[in-house]
Chain A
Amino acid sequence: MTERSYLDHAATTRMLPQAQRRWLEVSQLVGNPSSLHDSGRRTRRVVEEARESIAADLHTRPSAVVFTSGGTEADNLAVKGLFWLGEEQGRTRVVASAVEHHAVLDPVRWLSEHEGAQVHWAGVDRLGRVLLDDVRQALDHDDVALCTVMWANNEVGTVQPVQQLADLCRERGVPFHTDAVQVLGQLPINLQDLGAAAVTISSHKIGGPFGAGALIVDPDLRLTPVLHGGGHEREVRSGTLDAAGIAAFAVAVHEAVVHQEGFAREVSALRNHLIERVLLEVPAAQLNGEPRLDGLDRLPANAHFTFSGCEGDALLLLLDAAGIDCSTGSACTAGIPEASHVLLAMGADAEASRGSLRFSLGRETTKADIDHLLDVLPAAVERAGRAGSVRSRS
């Protein structure tokens, strides 16, 4: 087997040893955190300590942290929960960006199809940044139940003006939700400053275990639950709490926040090197998203290209065979690639939207990985270009 270079850290990243240790420790506990006896209290204590740790790291109150099974559940809870809450007050409009992750996009569509929500899809510019004026106009309606715009785009890495969006929404009394899954550990996060109603985070993207996440939501908002049951999390979310997962998640959040600045500095230097070389050595490559690589406008570990004349999935196959793990960055249903809705919203044509790849770097990425990529990418692009032309002809 070829030595592999893993360049898909935005999909998931390796679990941190500290998180792994913590998970093992807590997994030995016997009590259900909702039980009233001593064993239950011991497990509950672990959960509450994790809650406090995460709240402290993100500058919010512990009571705002609602643990979920991951980012998708947190997004569903935010979107549906805020919509149903608003609906009680006659607010049935949803404002969402056109480049949301499917975990937001699909619940919003579902609300529109099944619950009578009127949706305003806010447009984005060429770089994938949401058009503030478009959002502002949509917010002028007095029946907006929620506005949801991701903190940074998972495909092209463009950072959204979430502070301005949060301010706009607060001024108008509209709950603002943002999916911060891609941002945690990559950019500084201060939820007190942000002042959003709800923020989604996820564990496995930052070196915690799969199956854990949280919605950080204003405790004064009585969200309508999505999962009904024992009411374990503030009556907002039911289901036995995964104490080991949550404890390890908290460790990962802490590590991500403590090391954010240094990580961002190092990984962006490597990322910039990757972008520079790809643009230099692969003539068909074109960088998508924010071209300014020196600041807070683009996720520091994200590189996303369109390779003109290529199909992303053909390229992925060739790179896979050559030992490179990367992603088409587009939606996948049962492994079936579709044109990226993000690139389409950015004004790319359908062909370009299928011909793109995302490389996302992580803690363990080295210069050797980038050398490896550049060793194989030019030939793969050339070959995929031929396969691409076959496809469009047949």
Chain B
Amino acid sequence: MKVLAAMSGGVDSSVAAARMVDAGHDVTGVHLALAKSSPVPGSRGCCTLDDARDARRVADRLDIAFYVWDLSDEFRREVMDDFVAEYRAGHTPNPCMRCNERIKFLALLERAVALGFDAVATGHYAQVIAGPGGPELHRGADPDKDQSYVLGMLEQWQLEHTLLPLGGDSKGQVRAEAQERGLLTASKPDSHDICFIPDGDTAGFLRRTLGDEPGDIVDVETGAVLAHHAGAYGYTIGQRRGLDLTVPAVDGRPRYVVDVDVQARTVFVGPPSLLDVDRIIGARPTWTGSALDAAVQACQAQVRAHGAALGALASVTDAGLVIDLDEPVRGLASGQGVVLYDGTRVIGSATVESTRRVVRT
């Protein structure tokens, strides 16, 4: 097969590319330039010049053709601008999911296919397994590293052109293999942060981008103004840290962000019990294979990259993808991704549009 290996310059995609070469494929390496230039010196994002160089050196080692593709305009438009707009609207987006959806498995994949490649290989820890109805997306074998959640939006046609050579292994195995192969990326640290916010300070990034919009932090139960904030967009439902509340709660228990009204510039805080959600309405659902319909199906729902799989009943109605959870989940914000599983198999995904709080009597 003619395989395009997406090479971030990290250890995972390096080993993935190496395995593709070993498997006898005709492999070409591509590093995606997602930022015009490295914004912060020493940053550990996925798009710095160091990373491009590392990717190039691994490609040299594997003796494969290598290119840098400039998708920075697409990245800015589809991921960064969307990220800011979502926060602006009071949502909590997942930019890595968005990047996979719009950049790696759309812009890159379409281009690769158009250029005559049979598949794109990446270093994600998830598995594409041939099923009776076509390729299926499954969880990675290593539960600690499983990345099927951030690939949950892949559809059939994308899976047909996707190779995930690391899905059956653990991170430890992959690192050891990189060491054995003598790849210079073997001991590179994992990247955890959002690549365009390398210092991890999302609130600071949003403040710099959106400017100050001061408002109140209000106790949702008493209506009392407890503190002030510089911008409601910097707060996420379920957030506890960084509230800087000086007035203790009546019951002395910690308070959480339970609602954000960006229009009114108001952040509401309250007890954690108010965060419990038992129904999720998902917008823009995608399906790895056949779509769910009005018939209620038992499945598991995951709402965070490393969150638990929650027992659920799901169906598609006029309202969207309706997911009723067996047990409530705490602190779910609109804009987050929800991925549905049937065991290890990904059924599909959606963006959380609204939730229903558990009504307590």
Contacts and interface: CB of A to CB of B under 8 A. Distances in A.
A387 B69 contact: no
Nearest to A391: B111
B116 interface: yes
A318 interface: yes
A221 B155 CA distance: 68
Query: Looking at chain A, what size class is its interface with the partner chain?
Result: 10 to 19
Interface in A311-347: 313-314, 317-318, 320-321, 334-338
B67 A386 contact: no
Nearest to A387: B114
B110 A317 contact: no
A384 interface: yes
Contact of A313 (B52, B69, B110, B114): B69
Interface in B61-99: 65, 67-70, 74
A353 B52 CA distance: 25
Interface string A371-394: 000000000000110110111001
B107 interface: yes
Contacts of B49: 334
A341 to B, nearest CB: 16
A335 B114 contact: no
B114 A334 contact: no
Contacts of B28: 317, 321
Given A321-B28, A321-B65, A394-B107, A336 B115 contact: no
A320 B65 contact: yes
Given A321-B28, A391-B107, A394-B106, A335 B68 contact: yes
Interface in B4-58: 28, 33, 49, 52, 56
Nearest to B72: A336
Interface string A225-238: 00000000000000
B33 A336 contact: yes
A387 B116 CA distance: 9
Contacts, number: 47
A384 B116 CA distance: 9
Query: Looking at chain B, what size class is its interface with the partner chain?
Result: 10 to 19
B36 to A, nearest CB: 8
A337 B68 CA distance: 8
B106 A335 contact: no
Contacts of B114: 314, 383, 386-387, 389-390
Contacts of B110: 390, 394
A337 B114 CA distance: 19
A318 B28 CA distance: 11
Nearest to B36: A336
A383 B115 contact: yes
Given A313-B69, A320-B65, A337-B70, A390 B116 contact: no
B174 to A, nearest CB: 26
Contacts of A318: 115-116
A336 B65 contact: no
Interface string B305-345: 00000000000000000000000000000000000000000
Contacts of A321: 28, 65
Chain B CB count within 10 A is highest, among A321, A384, A386, A394, for: A394
A318 to B, nearest CB: 6
B107 A313 contact: no
A335 B68 CA distance: 6
B115 A317 contact: yes
Given A313-B69, A320-B65, A334-B33, A387 B107 contact: no
Contacts of B74: 394
Interface string B107-123: 10011001110000000
A1 to B, nearest CB: 10
B115 A314 contact: yes
A317 B67 contact: yes
A336 B111 contact: no
Contacts of B70: 336-338
A60 B283 CA distance: 75
A334 B52 contact: yes
A336 B67 CA distance: 8
A387 B111 contact: yes
A314 B52 contact: no
A336 B107 contact: no
A338 B73 CA distance: 12
Interface in A123-147: none
Given A314-B111, A387-B111, A394-B110, A336 B68 contact: yes
Contact of B116 (A338, A383, A389, A394): A383
Contact of B111 (A334, A338, A390): A390
Nearest to B37: A333
Nearest to B114: A387
Contacts of B115: 314, 317-318, 383-384, 387
Given A314-B111, A321-B65, A383-B114, 18 more contacts: A313-B67, A313-B69, A318-B115, A320-B65, A321-B28, A335-B68, A336-B33, A337-B70, A384-B115, A386-B114, A387-B115, A390-B110, A391-B107, A394-B74, A394-B102, A394-B106, A394-B110, A394-B111
Interface of A: 313-314, 317-318, 320-321, 334-338, 383-384, 386-387, 389-391, 394
21 contacts: A314-B114, A314-B115, A317-B65, A317-B115, A318-B115, A320-B65, A321-B65, A334-B33, A334-B49, A334-B52, A335-B56, A338-B70, A383-B114, A384-B115, A386-B114, A389-B114, A390-B111, A390-B114, A394-B106, A394-B107, A394-B110
